[in-house]
Structure formats: structure tokens, C-alpha cells
Amino acid sequence: MVQQALSKNAAEKEVRVIIVEDYKLTRVGLRYALNEIENINVVAEAQNAEVGLELIKKEQPDVVLMDLGLPGINGLEATARVKGISPNTKVIILTSHDREEEVVASLGSGASGYCLKDIDPNTLSNVIKNVAKGACWIDSNVAHLALKLFPKPENMEIMNCANNGDSKAKLTERESEVLKLLVQGKSNTQIAQELIVSVHTAKAHVCSILQKLCVDDRVQAAVKAIKEGIVSV
């Protein structure tokens, strides 16, 4: 039995990991913890998405641990770009963000996993190994939010309506700007501050976007925008 277990461990493929996280202490802690785990090798780390994407292109890792709140290019945009530079790389979002917008938009942008930062290191190592093999994993604390990806039966007609039109052509230039901020998970207040308009105006733009995309809420709008390339990231 012992020999069989050893043979199994020896045959298990090493998982090459890149960490993209702006807090140095978190990066160091993750690297130390993961490198103690058998068959996991942290090959590189980056403090922002720009550096991270260059490392991903160079190293072609099996898995990337991606923070959402990165300076410059945020984790959501970076996740959407990974497939274009390293098609076989899987992305696991590792963040303290547990809002509905971030969870759904992250999965819509191509992430294979969503973990909160209070996850146990041993659990994280198992998630990394399973995601590397093609599995998906969502933290149990936010799993219910991921169900927003699946439209309810009564909403199917609305979703089909959106799929039949040229949604991108219907949006004004300002609405496209608002949609991009919406995809980034920004609230109406944050959108108003970013575009220097009133909250009422920002809300009006969001309502118009939902109507034009034939979706029920801002989360569905974000997912649709990413999946259909309405917003470039």
C-alpha cells in the first residue's frame, strides 16, 4: 500500500503556478505555503497585471492565482487576456472581494476558480491541483452568487432577444464607457465619480444599457458584455 501511494505521488504532474498579487506580504506568504506542497511549484510572481501577463506569456504556467484589486489593469481584465497569450493556463481568482458583480464577472471572463483569501492553504493547494486538471471550483461562501450566470426559465425569452441583435451597435459612446465601468464592478456612485456626472445620470445610463442588452440586471449585463466582446478588456 505504501509503495502504491509513493508511485501515485511520483506520477502526479507538477503544477506550475504564477501569483499575481500587489501586496508583497501576501505574495511571499502564498509562495512559501505553496512551495511546501508536493507537486506545486511557484515559478514566478508579479505585483501587477502588466508584469503578470508578461510572465504568463513567457512561462506558460498551468495555473495563475489572480487578485482582483490590482493597480492599473485590474484582475478581471487580466483574466480575460490570459487565454489569448497562454491558452492552456487556468486562472483562479484569489481575492477578498465577495460581491455579486465580481464573482459573476470573474467567471464570465474565463476564470476556472474563485477563492476568498481566508481559504485554508491545504484546501487551496487541492483547488490548484484540481483546476489544473480541468475542474472548476467556487468558494462555498460565494457559490450561490455564481448561479446568476444561469438565467431563470422565465428570463430565457429576454436572453434570447439579446442574442439576436447587434448589442454593441445600439450603445452610445457614453453607454459603452458606462458598461466598461460596470464590467469592472463599479457602483452607480463610482461610475458617476469616474465620468464626472450625477448619480442620477449614471443610473439612467445603466438602465438604458440593461434595456438595450435585453437583460434584467447589471450582473447579466457584465457577463454578456464579456462573453460577446461588447466591451474590450
Whether 233 is covered by a domain: the verdict is no
Judgement on whether residues 96 and 204 belong to the same structural domain of the protein: no
pLDDT at residue 158 in the model: 42
Domain extent, residue 18, equals 2-147
pLDDT at residue 220 in the model: 77
How many domains does the structure of the chain reveal? 2
Judgement on whether residues 158 and 137 belong to the same structural domain of the protein: no
Whether 58 is covered by a domain: the verdict is yes
Give the pairing of strands 137-138 and 40-46: unpaired
**pLDDT of 8 over the 80 cut:** no
Model confidence pLDDT, tens digit, residues 162-195? 444 444 547 888 888 998 888 877 888 888 898 9
CATH number, residue 195: 1.10.10.10
CA distance 197 to 143: 35
Model confidence pLDDT, tens digit, residues 202-212? 888 888 888 88
Which one of 128, 147, 166 terminates a domain? 147
Judgement on whether residues 219 and 110 belong to the same structural domain of the protein: no
